[in-house]
Each structure stands twice: as structure tokens, then as C-alpha cells.
Amino acid sequence: MEQRKILLREDEIPRQWYNILADIAMNPPLGPDGNPITPDQLAPVFPMNLIEQEVSQERWIDIPDGVLDVLKIWRPAPLVRARGLEKALDTPARIYFKNESLSPPGSHKPNTAVAQAYYNKEFGIKKITTETGAGQWGSALSFACAHFGLECKIYMVRISFDQKPYRKSMMAAWGGNCVASPSPNTKAGQTALERDPNTPGSLGIAISEAIEEAVSDESGQTRYSLGSVLNHVLLHQTIIGLEAKKQMEKINEYPDIIIGCAGGGSNFAGLALPFVHDKINGKQIEIYPVEPAACPTLTKAPFVYDHGDTARYTPLLAMHSLGHAFVPPPIHSGGLRYHGMAPIVSQLVDEGILEPKSVKQNQVFEAGVLTARSEGIIPAPETNHALATVVDEARKAKEEGKEKVILFNWSGHGLLDLTAYDNYFAGNIKDIDLSNEEITNAEKVFADFPKPAHVKHE
């Protein structure tokens, strides 16, 4: 019988990250004056060693030994043949997934959390602030900060703070201090609460609060950390796709289709970008980022310049955006409730290299339950978005009678998301599809901002 798991030895972990900025052209982030920002303008927010990575044009960037030592706790992650799911779907497609749920926090997030904590420590930083949606990022950064002796403060989107109490416990176990956002502790939080005392919160608000706390520290020893969206975050996540390429080479396979859920873009890009490099160079491959229909950033929102946070503390980023004031519906996939999308992912969608898809919540949980019963692992609600599209593509392969190879990213487990499954089994999950009117109203906030160029890679 063919292999179920394709493994790498510890000495086969990639020792460099792949930087796609060497291969595509991008619109630069803009400052308040409308001009491209300079590294010194980012210095109060990020340590300079990470700023250098954010703007680097080098194709390959070495992974420090201090980062690899921690990553080796769970990496290399297995590539798994989803034979149970194939059988359940009676499909000729061969389905593989990169299992990122095996990290201590249970998701892909520590791939960059460990790197960011390392670089902050090297720069002499004592405390890191951040936001978290579903709690996966807050858990990962707490885990990473514990390894490097850093203090960690997390602003967690209110609806997830209430829905997922054990995420807070996980952060506390690693020393993280988690508070609900919006909070009364910052000007951004106070403004949001004055606007709507019962707001479910948003990642945009939580980002504003975390940045405000970081830049307000007069000691200069606090910096902010972001779990998705930015170039250096996607860079660190490429270890996923680089491992997957090595593993598929071992069994003489290559994907026809790559799928990942997409909120800010980090886990999707981590798997996809090394394969995007191949597609740019002529490989025939379909690559699908999948988002909730309730927050259709890539599928319905325009490619614009907008802020990454509600209080407009961040630079203007060229991205697909529903508007920085957008408060997404309180769906259960908290990690996908973000108004914008990583500029790199947005750029690749704008060029037609990626084809975004959106799925509704009941379809999402149906796919998750089918997979849990056929593969044994309970997936995170975010991962279920990728799975819904995997199921669609596997069924399509059956209809067409084609032996397609499907590769997707199992971005996290759902063991701390069982309330969402309870609601699904009780019939309480509602399908939400934003109307064109709602989207148009949300987009008014960036009407007067500069417009990005539709650039193409050479």
C-alpha cells in the first residue's frame, strides 16, 4: 500500500525562506503624506531587523539557528494523503494536506511567531503587543515569547474572546496577557466603545489598540507584532510550501490544485507562494484562496489603498479591502474576519495568478464534519473553508473522470472551537452573504485615498 504520511528528516527542514518580492512588482505602502513610507517611519512599531525583511528584495533569506531550534519542536510537519476523505467522496483525485495542526499551539501561526519573537529579542525588545481573532495567533505569540523571555500582551476580538474561553487559558499558560477588544485601555478602544458599546469587535480595532500600546511605551522597549498580512509574515510561513515541495518530490507527485483558507493571507501564502514561483515560470497549476462569504475581501472587494486598522495608525496598503471601518458579522471563523488581505496575495489575485473563492458557513461545517469522520482530525473552522473547496474540487474531478492531485493546508485543529461545532449540530449556524449595498457602504472610507497601480511582474 502507498504511503499515508510523507515525512522529512529533521535535517531536511528548509534553512531559507522564499521571498516572492524578488519575483513580483508591488505597490509601496504609503505614509500620511501620500509618499512611500521609509524604514525609519516603521521603527516605532517594528524592530529594524524585521523591517529589513519587510522591504527585502532578496529571493532567499536565511533562517537563523535560534529560530530553527524552536521550530524543530514540531517541524518538519508531515504531508498526509487524505485516503479516508478520498474514499468518502469516491473521487479519482489524490488529496494531500500539509498538517500544520501539530504545532504546540495547534496551528501554522508559530512559524512566524517564533521568528518574530527571536528578532525582537535580538533587537533588545522586552515586550510585544498584538491582536488576535480566533486566538490562534495570540496563542502562538504567547508560546514564542515564553521561549525567548518576552512579555506578551494580546488584544482579542470581543466576539472570539467570549466564544473561545480556553484560548485565553492557553495564552495564560504561556504567560500571555489577553484582554477583550475593544477595551477601555486605549484611545482606539474607547472610541470604538463610544460608537457601539455592544460591538463584537474586529481585527481592525484590535490592531489599532495593540499598535497604540506599543508606540506609547516611553521606554522604547515595546514593539508590535502582526500575525498575518505583512510581507515578512508571509515570508516566514513559506517554510510550509517549501517542505511540501520536498515531500511531493519524494513520491513523484506535483499538485494540479492548491487550496488554503484566507483571512489575512498567511497560511494560504505559506503553502502557495513556493508554488506561485513555479506558476510564474510556466507551470500549469490552479491556486485557490478561500474566504467566508460573510467577509468577501478577495471575491467582492476592490483592489485599493486602505489602512490595515480601524484607527488608521497603519500605513496605506495596496490590497483588496472592504474598508478599514468594516465590522464583519460574528461568524465562527474568527481568524478569517478581517477587512483586508495581504498585499502580496491581493497583488497576485489582481494579476490573475490566484483565483479566489468564497464559501458559506453551513457548507464549511459540513465539509469539516465529513473530514473529521473520514480522517479522524477535527479541523478548525478556518481550515473548513479550505476543505469545502477541496470537497468541491474532488467531486468535480469525479464528474470529469480526472485523476487530479489536490494539495491543501490543514492550518489548525478545532479542539478549542467545539462551541462552533455545537452550534452547527444544533442548527444555529446562519449563512451570511453580504449585499452589494453593504459592501458599497463599507467601501466609502477609502474613496479619497490614492489608487494603486495595476502592476505586473516582469
**Residue that the C-alpha cell 452547527 belongs to:** 424
- Residue 442 forms part of a structural domain: yes
Q: Taking the CB of residue 133, how many other CB atoms lie within 10 A of it?
A: 29
Enter the pTM of the model. 0.95
Q: How far is Cα of residue 289 from the mean position of the Cα atoms in its chain?
A: 11
Please report, for residues 22, 185, 304, 318, 448, the alpha-carbon distance to residue 27 in angstroms, rounded to integers and kept in the order given: 14, 34, 10, 6, 17
Secondary structure of 104-137 in HEC code, one letter for each residue = CCCECCHHHHHHHHHHHHHCCCCEEEEEECCCHH
Distance (Å, rounded) from C-alpha 350 to C-alpha 298? 9
- Residue 166 forms part of a structural domain: no
Question: Which residues lie below 8 Å from residue 69, measured CB to CB, with a gap of 6+?
Answer: none
- Residue 96 forms part of a structural domain: yes
Residue pair 336/137 in contact by the 8 Å Cβ criterion: no
Residue 456: all three cell numbers together: 505586473
Q: Name which of 114, 108, 111, 116 is nearest 134 in CA terms.
A: 108
Q: How many domains does the chain have?
A: 1
Range of the domain at 79: 64-106+232-446
- Residue 130 forms part of a structural domain: no
- Residue 10 forms part of a structural domain: no
Q: Which long-range contacts (CB under 8 A, 24 or more apart) does 247-250 make?
A: 247/6, 247/7, 247/8, 247/78, 247/79, 248/6, 248/79, 248/96, 248/407, 250/6
pLDDT in tens, the chain (458 residues): 577 999 999 999 999 999 999 999 999 999 988 899 999 999 999 999 999 999 999 999 999 999 999 999 999 999 999 999 999 999 999 999 999 999 999 999 999 999 999 999 999 999 999 999 878 899 999 999 999 999 999 999 998 898 888 999 999 999 999 999 999 999 999 999 999 999 988 888 998 999 999 999 989 999 999 999 999 999 999 999 999 999 999 999 999 999 999 999 999 999 999 999 999 999 999 999 999 999 999 999 999 999 988 878 889 999 999 999 887 776 666 568 788 999 999 999 999 999 999 999 999 999 999 999 999 999 999 999 999 999 999 999 999 999 999 999 999 999 998 988 999 999 999 998 888 888 888 888 888 899 999 877 65
Tell me what pLDDT residue 49 has.
96
Tell me what pLDDT residue 152 has.
98
Residue pair 131/264 in contact by the 8 Å Cβ criterion: no
Instruction: Give strand pairing partners of 426.
Output: none
Find the CATH number of the domain harbouring 441. 3.40.50.1100
Residue ranges in 301-380 assigned as alpha helix (H): 343-350, 361-375
- Residue 157 forms part of a structural domain: no
- Residue 270 forms part of a structural domain: yes
- Residue 41 forms part of a structural domain: no
Distance (Å, rounded) from C-alpha 300 to C-alpha 328? 14
Residue 402: all three cell numbers together: 480526472
Instruction: Give backbone dihedrals phi and psi of 340, rounded to 5 degrees, phi first.
Output: -115, -170
Residue 253: all three cell numbers together: 507527485
